[in-house]
A = this chain, B = another copy of it.
């Protein structure tokens, strides 16, 4: 039994308190400035209003200004549960606490950054910023794989991947979190795993185009649009493999839980799919966002907005072959350039 801090009280950060608490850890759930109502509710009666479950009694809620006080010497693990746009804030906030060292970090945040001019996965962003604050040697691991937060919070059987280059770190982390419903596979291909974790949101949005196209295409037999959705699913897998390989990861990482498994679960609903459907109807992104999902963080769209400009030089210089990423470019066209969707099926599956 030990003390664990979770930074970020959104659905996924908070759901991680289940396997932690079930392993006997005491969890200090520290909300960001957006999570105050959640923290209040958890402290009132243990109820998490967005997960819609009662958290274990050993989980206590805290506000972000209390982070310094919560990060006592006996904290053995910090789980980073902020949104992708919050990672820099989290890293800077931890850095400014001026600790000589930090306990291991486990990141559940997914995304990619082009802040340095190159594509960068979030564990590397975290390590880089901590280094700028003279914090070195902190293991920064990450969770990926198919895991809907609400299902983990309901203790559904969930199989995930923990990734870090050091098998010893992975072994220790898995021991802290493994339960009879939370199944952890160690994976040392950090680049492959994290590329999958980020890209699956963008591609789930793309697969969602098909259901939006359906709304414009009545059929005598009420046929759905699973064929085009599946074509885009297959194309997404090919593009993810190409991008993982480009970044120096192992394309085989896309085969199992981190790639095909996680893309599958992300296509079964959720905000990326909803936005994809709106875009598939032919709506420009700006209108879809403003009119239908103004308060939602849509990770696939946020990723596109974050990386599109940074990827342009890679296409222009030929380092990345644009012809092998037609579906990604369609997402850029709709989300970043705000143009109505137009698919060219001949571009896919080359």
- Write the residues of chain A forming the contact surface with B, with a CB cutoff of 8 angstroms: 51-54, 145-148, 150-154, 156-159, 183, 185, 213, 217, 219-231, 233-235, 237-238, 241, 254-257, 259-262, 264-265, 267-269, 343, 345-346, 348-349
- Of B150, B217, B257, B348, the residue contacting A156 (CB under 8 A) is B217
A197 to chain B, nearest CB (A): 13
* CB closest chain-B residue, reference A237: B260
Question: Inside 8 A of A152's CB, which chain B residues have their CB?
Answer: 227
**Provided the pairs A230-B265, A231-B146, A237-B255 are in contact, do residues A151 and B224 lie with their beta carbons within 8 angstroms?**
yes
Copies of this chain held together in the complex: 2
The 20 sampled A-B contact pairs (Cβ below 8 Å) are A53-B219, A150-B223, A151-B224, A151-B227, A154-B221, A156-B223, A156-B224, A156-B225, A158-B228, A158-B231, A159-B230, A159-B234, A183-B349, A226-B268, A229-B264, A231-B257, A235-B261, A237-B261, A257-B349, A264-B267
Question: Inside 8 A of A222's CB, which chain B residues have their CB?
Answer: 52
Assess the B227–A156 pair: CB atoms within 8 A.
yes
**Provided the pairs A219-B156, A220-B53 are in contact, do residues A226 and B257 lie with their beta carbons within 8 angstroms?**
no
Q: Which of A54, A151, A235 has the most CB of B within 10 A?
A: A151
Q: Which of A156, A228, A231, A233 has the most CB of B within 10 A?
A: A231
Q: A183-B349, A264-B267 are in contact. List 6 more A-B contacts (CB 8 A).
A: A146-B226, A150-B223, A156-B227, A224-B268, A233-B265, A234-B260
Nearest 9 interchain pairs by C-beta: A234-B261, A146-B230, A230-B265, A154-B223, A159-B231, A52-B221, A154-B219, A158-B227, A233-B264
A16 to chain B, nearest CB (A): 14
Assess the A220–B345 pair: CB atoms within 8 A.
no
In whole angstroms, what is the CA distance A268 to B225 when docked? 11
**Provided the pairs A150-B221, A183-B346 are in contact, do residues A256 and B234 lie with their beta carbons within 8 angstroms?**
yes
Assess the A234–B219 pair: CB atoms within 8 A.
no
Assess the A345–B157 pair: CB atoms within 8 A.
yes
* CB closest chain-B residue, reference A349: B185
Assess the B349–A223 pair: CB atoms within 8 A.
no
* CB closest chain-B residue, reference A180: B345
Question: Inside 8 A of A225's CB, which chain B residues have their CB?
Answer: 151, 156-157
Assess the B53–A221 pair: CB atoms within 8 A.
yes
A25 to chain B, nearest CB (A): 21
Question: Inside 8 A of A261's CB, which chain B residues have their CB?
Answer: 230-231, 233-235, 237
Question: Inside 8 A of A269's CB, which chain B residues have their CB?
Answer: 226
Assess the B234–A257 pair: CB atoms within 8 A.
yes
* CB closest chain-B residue, reference A236: B260
Assess the B230–A262 pair: CB atoms within 8 A.
yes
Question: Inside 8 A of A220's CB, which chain B residues have their CB?
Answer: 52-54, 154
In whole angstroms, what is the CA distance A343 to B181 when docked? 12
Assess the A345–B51 pair: CB atoms within 8 A.
no
